[in-house]
Amino acid sequence: MLFINGKESFDNWTAFQDKIKKTGDLDKVLQIYNDALKSYQERSAATKY
């Protein structure tokens, strides 16, 4: 969530990916991040009006 909510710079994305690769399943982590982003975008779109 750090990257999605802006608390972590995307300049650090590659280092984050490397860390995840060493500790677990990168595809699963990316799916979680993508799901969270989609949910955030849907909530944001619903509250614009």
**pLDDT at position 29, please?**
80
**pLDDT at position 1, please?**
63
Specify if 33 maps to a domain. yes
**CA-CA distance, 26 to 20, in Å (whole number)?**
6
Domain that holds residue 30: 13-46
Q: How many domains does the chain have?
A: 1
**pLDDT at position 39, please?**
94
Q: Name the most confidently modeled range: 4-8, 11-15, 19-23, 24-28.
A: 11-15
**pLDDT at position 17, please?**
83
More confident residue, 40 or 47: 40
Measured at the CA of 47, the angle between CA 43 and CA 49, to 5 degrees, comes to: 145
